[in-house]
Amino acid sequence: QTAVADAPAPDKEYTFAIIKPDAVEAGHADAIFAKLAEAGFRVAAQNEMTLSREQAEAFYGEHKDKPFFENLVTFMTSGPIKVLVLSAPDAIKAWRELIGPTNTEIARADKPESLRALFGTDQTANALHGSDSSSSAMREINFFFDGWAYDNMPAETNFAVITPE
């Protein structure tokens, strides 16, 4: 079910991204794929799924004592998501930059071109996830893509290139 997509970028780094339920439900996935391709990211792996409560709680375990945790888990299990491995030079930092501030309202005020500003809904439903460090990226990629390893992609793999419309 996991589809391998683009070839990794030169000087690649990998990060993990989620197109969250609000953005999938609103039909923003194609526009998001176009924006990320335009920004130089390639999709190394992707899958569509709906998280179980147990998966959402485990994925966001670092936030389990936060006041927004229940809302977050309810939201993240509310519908299908797209989980992505993205590659680009400096992908981790560059993807966090591109998605913008966590709170959609702040994103709209401070970074109107960011993907959360463009596609987010509110403080919880903010359209996109991005790993915040290389250790998070490794943990999160392995959480969703069992056995996927940073260096396991042969250069000659048949890739389908996703290009903006």
Q: Is 102 in the site for ligand GDP (CB under 6 A)?
A: yes
Structure letter (DSSP) for residue 123: S
Among 124, 138, 148, 150, the residue binding ligand GDP under the rule CB under 6 A is: 124
Footprint of Mg ion on 78-137 (CB under 5 A): 132
Confirm or deny that 68 is annotated as ligand binding. Answer: yes
Active-site residue, selected from the candidate residues 23, 45, 129, 140: 129
Footprint of ligand GDP on 20-79 (CB under 6 A): 63, 68, 71-72
Q: What are the phi and psi torsion angles at 59 (to 5°)? A: -60, -40
Helix (H, G, I), strand (E, B) or coil at 161: coil
Query: Rounded to an integer, what distance in angstroms lies between the CA atom of residue 93 and that of residue 165?
Result: 26
- DSSP assignment of 49-70, as one string? E---HHHHHHHTGGGTTSTTHH
Interface residues toward Mg ion, by CB under 5 A: 132
Show binding-site residues for ATP: 20, 68, 96, 102, 116, 126
Catalytic residue positions? 129
